[in-house]
Structure 1
Amino acid sequence: MGRTGLFDLERHFAFYGAYHSNPINIVIHMIFVWPIFFTSLVFLYFTPALYTPSFQIGLFPSGLLVLNFGFLLALIYGLFYVAFDKKAGSLAALLCFLCWVGASLLASRLGYSLAWKVTGFCIFIIRFVFWT
């Protein structure tokens, strides 16, 4: 007896395959996944540090690149992409790292209150323009 509903994996995989082979859906994913990931990293910049190294990272002042949940998310996504495909995944992992650095720089300059307002407004505009 097969599983039905939520646990019917064959049906879920068939839906996922059909949904992600639609050309319009592919373009939407290519355009919007990275900005959504970036804004998530901006939000996560303000989470507490998971680890505080005793050394300064490269050219950046101390406390700018914080190893927090934003870094953890970027690391997990980067490893996830590399696990799927070494060549393309390495590029995606690099993009994840650059998004983390860029989001950290932007969030540190904007500050907590303004970062939430700017990224929330951007998400609202994207949602209003493209999903109405």
Structure 2
Amino acid sequence: MGKGLFDLERHFAFYGAYHSNPVNVAIHMLFVWPIFYTSLILFHFTPSIVCLPFGVCNGDGVVLNLGFVFALVFAVFYVFMDQKAGSLAAVLCIACWVSSDCLAARLGLSLSWKVVLASQLFCWSGQFLGHALYEKRAPALLDNLPQALMMAPFFVLLELLQRLCGYEPYPGFRANIHAKIAASRAEWQAKKEKKDL
């Protein structure tokens, strides 16, 4: 269990307190990674940091640009929070970067931004509707944008791993998380009721 910046329990509990409804969590499972992926498509068109002389995407090799930096920061963050699931998340981040770079090179800027805009509008709308209709709570990004954006892809991956194979980063993780989420939601509910008076 990490502390400070890489404290998985703290990050997961923060994000989980805004995502306790199963329908809303399922909506996020569908839309969070496409948001990450399509963001990387646009980063393809940022200036290159360095070009590696191998690869098949654009004929010039693999270009290391802001898309690479973006994917790398997320990947490293996840590995430091949890080595096993974080390593899987890191592989997904890098795979998203490589494939989005290839797609962006094929589409070109004029088509890429249209694809990204349509995808982002659709995915963000779905998530906001999930919060409004099922969660009955504003999204986490309204309270802490950086933490919500960084945690979202890892949160949905951990949820999926837990559902599919009962994965826990360490014994007692789920119990600790549920207690923290319940306390956070109770505090939020009390504040909400106080405002409604």
Pairwise CA RMSD: 2.4
| 1:6 corresponds to | none
Structure 1 CA distance, aligned partners of 2:16 and 2:118?
32
| 1:36 corresponds to | 35
| 2:73 maps to 1:63 | no
| 2:76 maps to 1:79 | yes
Structure 2 CA distance, aligned partners of 1:88 and 1:67?
25
Aligned-partner SS, 2:62? coil
Which amino acid is 1:116 matched to?
W
Structure 2 CA distance, aligned partners of 1:61 and 1:110?
11
| 2:48 corresponds to | 49
Aligned-partner SS, 1:52? strand
The 3 A distance-change label for structure 1 pair 16 and 109 is: closer
Aligned-partner SS, 1:116? helix
Conserved? CA contact 2:76–2:90, under 8 Å = yes
| 2:26 corresponds to | 27
1:29 Cα offset (Å): 2.5
1:81-113 deviation line (CA, Å, top 9, x unaligned): 101110000000000011001100100000011
Structure 1 CA distance, aligned partners of 2:91 and 2:81?
15
Which amino acid is 2:89 matched to?
A
Structure 1 CA distance, aligned partners of 2:75 and 2:13?
26
| 2:142 corresponds to | none
The 3 A distance-change label for structure 1 pair 64 and 115 is: farther
RCO higher in structure (CA 8 A, sep ≥6): 2
Q: TM-score, normalised on structure 1? A: 0.75
| 2:151 corresponds to | none
1:124 Cα offset (Å): 2.6
The 3 A distance-change label for structure 1 pair 64 and 28 is: farther
The 3 A distance-change label for structure 1 pair 37 and 87 is: same
Gaps of 5+ in 1: 1-12
Conserved? CA contact 1:64–1:104, under 8 Å = no
1:14-39 deviation line (CA, Å, top 9, x unaligned): 76442134333322322211100001
| 1:7 corresponds to | none
Count of aligned positions: 118
Gaps of 5+ in 2: 1-11, 130-197
Structure 2 CA distance, aligned partners of 1:58 and 1:15?
39
